[in-house]
Amino acid sequence: MIKKSKINNQSTFGKRLAQIRKQRGFSQAQLAKLVGVTIRTIAYYEAEANNLPAKLIKPLAEALTVSTDHLIGITNFKQEISPKQFALWRRFKKIDNLSVRDQKALFHYLNALLEKNKKG
């Protein structure tokens, strides 16, 4: 006997993609650039498509930092932080690309701002 799939049928792939993209704080243009497709492609899959070409599943999941299972609806997706916080987190990840000297300067400046706001 074949067991029924546990795929989440509550929303289409397109609705799920749009929801995750918005929760992650990306515009369609930003996501398209990360994945290497056009804005029109992202808009199409969000608005009209129930399925996605297999070649785009992994790049989309990586760009959105979700599992492929979450992206295609096999498991539920829970947003743990707000889109604004996630966008900030994405920017902080880029600090690793700075030189050690620039990282130290940035953290010194950040600590000074935090200390200033703590007093006021």
- State pLDDT tens for residues 12-71: 788 888 988 988 888 999 999 999 999 999 999 998 777 778 889 999 999 998 888 888
For each of the domains in the chain, give its residue range(s) and CATH number, in order of start. 1-80 (1.10.260.40), 81-120 (no CATH)
The span from the CA of 18 to the CA of 43, in Å, is: 9
| CA atoms within 13 Å, Cβ hemisphere of 12 | 12
- With a threshold of 0.75, does the pTM exceed it? no
Q: According to the model, what pLDDT value does residue 102 have?
A: 87
What's the chain's average pLDDT? 79
The span from the CA of 111 to the CA of 18, in Å, is: 36
The span from the CA of 22 to the CA of 15, in Å, is: 11
- State pLDDT tens for residues 36-45: 999 999 999 9
67: Cα separation from own chain's centroid: 11
Name residues whose C-beta falls within 8 Å of residue 17's C-beta, 6 or more positions apart in sequence: 42, 45, 46, 52, 60, 71
Q: According to the model, what pLDDT value does residue 42 have?
A: 93
The span from the CA of 59 to the CA of 68, in Å, is: 9
78: Cα separation from own chain's centroid: 12
The span from the CA of 57 to the CA of 16, in Å, is: 13
Residue 7 pLDDT greater than 70, yes or no:
no
Q: According to the model, what pLDDT value does residue 37 have?
A: 95
